[in-house]
Amino acid sequence: MTYDGVHPNRAGEVHMADRFIAELLAAGLCAPAGGTGDPSVTIPAVGSTLAGSTQTFGWSNNSTSVIDWFLEVGTAANSSAYFGGRLAASLRSFQVNGLPTDGSQVIARLSWKIPSGMWFGKNFTFASPVNGSCGSGFTLPNDQWRLISLPCKPPGGQTTVSAIFGDDISGAYDSSWKMFGYDPQLATNGDYADMTVNGVMEIGKSYWIKQVTGSSVTLDMPSGSVPWPLTVSAGQQGCQGDLGCISLELENRGSTPTFNMLGNPFPGFSALNNWRVRSTQPSSPTNCSLTPGCTLTEANASDLMFNKVFTFDGTSYVEASSGEYIPSWNGYWTVALTQAGSAGASVLYGK
């Protein structure tokens, strides 16, 4: 992050600004960027799916005085895998080529320099489009558990564990690989159940899977699989998706808080900001049975669904909350709260 081994280049300046800006602002040692708000990416809509392998990113300075821009587009914050470069202060858009088309996450970081010389920056997250109806497969490492869900609907007659994954993993089930589902109605507080080769995999459910073949394998959907059909039209019942939503009922044990092991039903990232909880009966303090539905925060306050979900990264659980995303093929844990059963609570996943 230097240009001569000593002095910081633009990346070094941004790195230092990101590290210390919060402390400097809190101590009153520097002023905010100024203007009516921070610059922000406005095209495409934050959280939306990109147009294709080529996308024009547009932004507004929001009345902030900017003397330099730097745009990075990549797979993570501060990644320039697809583009990274300094742009003239007069520019308000830039076209980036070579973007992925596999449903993966794309992060655009817009950094700006104000007249005092300070750099500021913000990250904006998008999903890449899916080239092919079900996108890319899922890499399952050797001898590691993963929590997965199906991104597409398999063709009729191919809905069992063996029909979907039997051709992806060498060796026999039980000895070379294994899958477990979760049934909230088993035992006292729910329990795992062996899927067996004949177990039927369902939309919106997630499953633990592990293989010990000695190397990583790629799981994919059978030929003829298609995206799960949307069940709620855009704007209806609180659906926040531009194209529509998939609605899935939360399982419950009456008034007892109940774990649910659910999954992203789309062949691309699912933004938690596009999720809503809808009930068939009135809830309080927010009535989630009305058309707008409830955000996760409102659903939590109304004792319908916990406002955080937990994915698994191969080592530990990772908390995801409002503003974050569940990748394709990934499952998650959440909790149906005490009123979920009586109110008839469902989750609407926006697309």
**Per-residue pLDDT reduced to its tens digit, 44-91:** 988 888 888 889 999 999 999 999 999 999 988 778 889 999 999 999
pLDDT of residue 184 exceeding 80, the answer is yes
Q: 8 falls in which pLDDT band (50, 70, 90)?
A: low
pLDDT bin (cut points 50, 70, 90) of residue 168 is: very high
Structure-token pair, residue 111: 């950094």
Q: 3-class DSSP state for residue 163?
A: helix
- Collapse the DSSP code of 22 into the 3-class scheme (helix H, G, I; strand E, B; otherwise coil) and give the result: helix
Per-residue b or e along 22-41, where b marks 16 or more CB atoms closer than 10 Å to that residue's CB: eeeeeeeeeeebeeeebbeb
Q: Kindly write down the DSSP assignment for every residue of 244-259, as one continuous string.
A: -EEEEEPP-BTTB-EE
Domain definitions of the chain by residue range: 10-127, 132-351
Domain 10-127 -> CATH class: mainly beta
Strand partners, 271: 325
Q: Are 31 and 117 in contact (CB under 8 A)?
A: no
Closest by CA to 104, choosing from 261, 329, 333, is 329
DSSP string, 224-250: T-BPPPP-B-TTSTT---SS-EEEEEP
For residues 291 and 279, is the Cβ–Cβ distance under 8 A? no
Nearest to 245 by CA among 280, 283, 284, 293: 293
The CA-based angle 324-209-331, given to 5 degrees, is 20
Residue appearing with tokens 């558990």: 145
Tokens at 202, concatenated: 């369902």
Please say whether the dihedral angle defined by the alpha carbons of residues 110, 320, 200 and 338, taken in this order, is positive or negative. negative
Average pLDDT score over the chain: 86
What six digits make up the tokens of 229?
């059909």
Q: What are the pLDDT digits (tens) for 189-230? A: 678 999 999 999 999 999 999 999 999 999 999 988 888 999
Using the predicted structure, report yes or no on whether residue 17 has a pLDDT greater than 60. Answer: no
127 compared with 334, residue with greater pLDDT: 334
**H helix or E strand, kind and range, residue 56:** strand 55-60
